[in-house]
């Protein structure tokens, strides 16, 4: 992430992004607590076939924290995407959204579908598994108890052996380095810990919007969903409902993966490349 650039949002935050390559603009949006480093595994496989843009949402990675933590919400983050596109002079973009990033893609479809060419939803849909959300809330905003990458890698390797069978210890070490940073006090979060308070208070404020209404706005656009076979966030039944609502949906099951696939899996790379190839003519159209 050392070569990241920055732009300033309308409310004065400096957000980090990385922009490389040419051709179809594919904007990569990371998960709830994650950052642009999660897309490092696809930089080489996609080199030369598209313009790959990665964004750190507000409060994540190298972007500024928001002094008002309630701005950590999907609609504000979707607006940040529009401001990035305007900053880069991009009229239309395709989105590769992991988890929260996929929700942002759906929100953009509802707000400004004219800015979208299509979307890849990485293990996320209009229904979010309650078991998965319970698991996520167990760690959001809380630094790991382990003081070193080696120690936390041991835990990840053990804890996710069932959902991610066959993932090597080296791969978990890379994942740990993307999730946390070293500090004098031990491992620290790569995001604003107040994100936890935002989630709790937003949940208490009332019912969430019907995400199916957002998803339906994608039905005229090419959409691919990557579904982790062992995911506790996106169920197989939700994927089938998505197929019914979007007859053109391309659904790819990623074997031996939970929430979320790493994107370096062969089926993910093939699906992303096929999606880009389909959209290249549309991106070139005036």
Average pLDDT over residues 266-280: 96
User: Which distant-in-sequence residues (6+ apart) come within 8 Å of 260 by Cβ?
Assistant: 31, 98, 99, 122, 123, 124, 228, 231, 233
Verify cis geometry, omega within 30 degrees of 0, for the bond prior to 159. Answer: no
Please write the tens of the pLDDT for every residue from 4-31: 899 999 999 999 999 999 999 999 999 9
Give yes or no for residue 2 having a pLDDT over 60: no
Q: Is the pLDDT of residue 86 over 70?
A: yes
- The count of structural domains within the chain is 1
pLDDT value, residue 22: 95
Residues 203 and 205: their CA atoms lie apart, in Å, by 5
The answer to whether position 183 is within a domain reads no
Which domain CATH number covers 60? 3.40.50.1820
Share of the chain above pLDDT 90, in %: 94
- Could you give the CA distance from residue 56 to residue 17 in angstroms, rounded to a whole number? 6
The model carries a pTM of: 0.96
Distance CA 83, CA 7 (A): 9
Give per-residue pLDDT as tens, 124-133: 999 999 999 9
Distance CA 20, CA 190 (A): 23
Pairing state between β 223-228 and 116-122: parallel
Q: Does any domain span residue 160? A: no
State pLDDT tens for residues 110-123. 999 999 999 999 99
Residue 147 within a domain? no
What is the rounded average pLDDT of the residues 174-180? 97
d(CA 3, CA 17): 9
Report how far residue 59's alpha carbon sits from residue 100's, in angstroms, rounded to the nearest whole number.
14
Would you say residue 286 has pLDDT above 60? no
199, two tokens: 């989630």
Whether residue 261 is contained in a domain is answered as yes
Encode pLDDT of 44-82 as tens digits: 999 999 999 999 999 999 999 999 999 999 999 999 999
The range of the structural domain enclosing residue 224 comes to 5-136+210-284
With bands split at pLDDT 50, 70 and 90, how would you rate the model's confidence at 216?
Answer: very high
Q: Is residue 154 part of a domain?
A: no
Please check whether residue 275 is in contact with residue 120, taking contact to mean a CB–CB distance below 8 angstroms. yes
Distances in Å between the alpha carbon of 247 and those of 124, 174, 239, 243?
17, 37, 12, 5
Which segments within 56-124 are labelled E, that is strand? 93-98, 116-122
Least Cα distance to 75 among 53, 114, 94, 103 occurs for 103
Q: Does 175 map to a domain?
A: no
The pLDDT score that the predictor gives to residue 283 is 59
The per-residue pLDDT of the chain, averaged, comes to: 95
């Amino acid at each position: 992430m050392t070569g990241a650039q920055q732009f300033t949002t309308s409310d004065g935050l400096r957000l980090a992004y990385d922009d490389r390559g040419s051709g179809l603009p594919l904007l990569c949006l990371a998960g709830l607590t994650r950052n642009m480093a999660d897309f490092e595994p696809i930089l080489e496989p996609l080199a030369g076939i598209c313009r790959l843009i990665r964004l750190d949402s507000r409060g994540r990675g190298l972007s500024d924290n928001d002094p008002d933590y309630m701005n950590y919400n999907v609609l504000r983050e979707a607006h940040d995407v529009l401001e990035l596109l305007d900053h880069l002079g991009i009229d239309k973009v395709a989105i590769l959204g992991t988890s929260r990033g996929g929700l942002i893609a759906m929100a953009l479809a509802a707000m400004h579908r004219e800015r979208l060419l299509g979307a890849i939803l990485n293990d996320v849909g209009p229904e979010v598994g309650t078991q998965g959300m319970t698991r996520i809330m167990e760690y959001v905003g809380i630094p790991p108890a382990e003081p070193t990458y080696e120690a936390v890698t041991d835990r990840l390797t053990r804890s996710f052996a069932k959902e991610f069978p066959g993932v090597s210890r080296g791969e978990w070490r890379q994942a740990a380095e993307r999730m946390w940073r070293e500090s004098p006090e031990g491992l620290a979060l790569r995001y604003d810990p107040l994100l936890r308070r935002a989630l709790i208070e937003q949940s208490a404020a009332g019912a969430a919007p019907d995400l199916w209404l957002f998803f339906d706005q994608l039905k005229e656009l090419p959409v691919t969903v990557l579904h982790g076979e062992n995911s506790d966030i996106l169920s197989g039944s939700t994927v089938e409902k998505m197929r019914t609502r979007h007859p053109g949906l391309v659904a790819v099951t990623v074997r031996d993966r939970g929430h979320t696939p790493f994107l370096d899996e062969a089926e993910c790379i093939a699906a992303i490349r096929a999606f880009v190839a389909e959209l290249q003519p549309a991106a070139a159209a005036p």
